[in-house]
Amino acid sequence: MYEKWLVGVDIGGTTIKMAFINQNGEMIHKWEIPTNKSEKAQHIPTDIAKSVDQILDELGQRKSKLIGIGIGAPGPVNLRKGSIDVAVNLGWENFHLKDRLEMETSLPVIVDNDANVAAIGEMWKGAGEGAKELLFVTLGTGVGGGIIANGEVIHGVNGAGGEIGHITSIVEGGVLCNCGKTGCLETVASATGIVRLTIEELSSTHIPSKLRDFYNEHQTLSSKLVFNAANEGDELAKRVIDYVAFHLGLALANVANGLNPEKIVIGGGVSKAGEALLAPLKEQFTRFAFPRVAQGVELAIATLGNDAGVLGSAWLAKKRFT
Ligand code: ZN
């Protein structure tokens, strides 16, 4: 049978991930190009269009092989227009991504937020395993989120639905967040937050820790080092991870009480800690969630890694254009 392909695109701060994916969600070919941020990143649609043509050429295929393009982009997305109001990292303001890319490729384009498409990817082919009630949280440099209810992403009235990272935790005051508020979950549960908390503990306590020597020598740390140390029984690192698990568990329990999800999937670089994160998180989540909500849900680490975005984008294209 003549098989047609979907194009999945995931625009990140340093690379644009792209893939041809068939309608069963099987990866045919994936590749990436650097994110060209020059001149307020306005060349991105042209770069994507050229790259699609080039790879089609290399694979000996024609453009008629392609059904359409799904894209995950940073920042809140105007779904109707397929435009991005503001993406600070890229320099985009009121950027008409859908229109520009449709013009460049002559293919239909659908745009959504990057965390939302990653949530969809995990629902379709990852740890979500088809769960239609799914809460996805990505712990990276920041904390992103996607909420899927009855198989549909919650976008809200102006595209800011699912911003789990900006749930204000119960830290009185708290540190300043990128969003302008203080004490957001992102300031605690992101890789950046974990490193900040560890450095604070190192300088304000005398708890022995192998991280102290490392920090004094290198003046830097990573969340991975903190998890590794916690795994090896380091008291200070364990304190930090417990603190992070407390706040993340509390926030997720409260969101879950409003959604009653089947799955909560944890993605992003910090989730690579695996069981070292999941075990304390489950404990705190269960402590705070409404008992029936806690019974119905499974917490799991994301399984698709960097492929979640392109798979979720391709799913959007499949849903809209087939
Ligand atoms: Zn915030």
> In 10 A of CB 233, how many CB atoms?
9
**Helix/strand/coil for 115:** helix
Give a yes or no: residue 32 inside a domain.
yes
Do 163 and 195 lie in one domain? The reply is yes
Average pLDDT estimate for 307-315: 97
Distance from the alpha carbon of residue 85 to the mean position of ligand 1, in angstroms: 18
Do 49 and 192 lie in one domain? The reply is no
Give a yes or no: residue 165 inside a domain.
yes
Distance from the alpha carbon of residue 177 to the mean position of ligand 1, in angstroms: 5
Distance from the alpha carbon of residue 320 to the mean position of ligand 1, in angstroms: 32
Give a yes or no: residue 125 inside a domain.
no
Residue range 208-234, pLDDT digits in tens: 999 999 999 999 999 999 999 999 999
CA distance 307 to 292: 33
Distance from the alpha carbon of residue 173 to the mean position of ligand 1, in angstroms: 13
Do 279 and 293 lie in one domain? The reply is yes
Do 24 and 156 lie in one domain? The reply is no
Residue range 189-214, pLDDT digits in tens: 999 999 999 999 999 999 999 999 99
Is there a contact between 71 and 7 (Cβ–Cβ < 8 Å)? no
Is there a contact between 252 and 263 (Cβ–Cβ < 8 Å)? no
Amino acid 30: pLDDT: 98
Distance from the alpha carbon of residue 233 to the mean position of ligand 1, in angstroms: 32
Do 140 and 111 lie in one domain? The reply is no
Domain count, the chain: 2
pTM (predicted TM-score): 0.92
Amino acid 171: pLDDT: 67
Amino acid 158: pLDDT: 87
Amino acid 160: pLDDT: 87
- Mean pLDDT over all residues of the chain? 95
> In 10 A of CB 98, how many CB atoms?
24
Is there a contact between 40 and 91 (Cβ–Cβ < 8 Å)? yes
Give a yes or no: residue 279 inside a domain.
yes
Q: Minimal CA–CA distance to 247: which of 176, 190, 179, 163?
A: 190
Distance from the alpha carbon of residue 164 to the mean position of ligand 1, in angstroms: 9
pLDDT band at 179; cut points 50, 70, 90: confident
Do 138 and 273 lie in one domain? The reply is yes
Q: Minimal CA–CA distance to 134: which of 121, 118, 151?
A: 151
Do 162 and 101 lie in one domain? The reply is no
Distance from the alpha carbon of residue 127 to the mean position of ligand 1, in angstroms: 27
Is there a contact between 69 and 9 (Cβ–Cβ < 8 Å)? yes
Distance from the alpha carbon of residue 130 to the mean position of ligand 1, in angstroms: 30
The pLDDT > 90 percentage for the chain reads: 89
Distance from the alpha carbon of residue 251 to the mean position of ligand 1, in angstroms: 13
Distance from the alpha carbon of residue 220 to the mean position of ligand 1, in angstroms: 24
Residue 301: phi and psi, rounded to 5, are -85, 140
Residue 49 has pLDDT above 70, yes or no: yes
Give a yes or no: residue 170 inside a domain.
yes
> In 10 A of CB 138, how many CB atoms?
28
Contacts of 102 (CB under 8 A, 6+ apart): 108, 109
Token pair 């080039």 is at which residue? 54
Distance from the alpha carbon of residue 137 to the mean position of ligand 1, in angstroms: 14
Do 266 and 281 lie in one domain? The reply is yes
State which amino acid sits at residue 180. G
Do 198 and 281 lie in one domain? The reply is yes
Q: Which domain holds residue 97?
A: 5-120+306-321
pLDDT band at 170; cut points 50, 70, 90: low
Give a yes or no: residue 176 inside a domain.
yes
Q: Minimal CA–CA distance to 316: which of 94, 202, 146?
A: 146
Residue 1 has pLDDT above 70, yes or no: no
Distance from the alpha carbon of residue 142 to the mean position of ligand 1, in angstroms: 9
Residue 321 has pLDDT above 80, yes or no: yes
CATH number at residue 248: 3.30.420.40
State which amino acid sits at residue 128. G
Do 53 and 135 lie in one domain? The reply is no
Distance from the alpha carbon of residue 182 to the mean position of ligand 1, in angstroms: 7
**Helix/strand/coil for 167:** coil
Distance from the alpha carbon of residue 191 to the mean position of ligand 1, in angstroms: 15
Give a yes or no: residue 191 inside a domain.
yes
Do 292 and 317 lie in one domain? The reply is no
Residue range 115-144, pLDDT digits in tens: 999 999 999 999 998 899 999 999 998 999
> What are the beta bridge partners of residue 94?
none
Distance from the alpha carbon of residue 170 to the mean position of ligand 1, in angstroms: 13
Distance from the alpha carbon of residue 178 to the mean position of ligand 1, in angstroms: 6
Given its phi and psi angles, is residue 219 left (phi above 0), alpha (psi -120 to 50 degrees) or beta?
left
Do 61 and 149 lie in one domain? The reply is no
Distance from the alpha carbon of residue 112 to the mean position of ligand 1, in angstroms: 20
Give a yes or no: residue 316 inside a domain.
yes
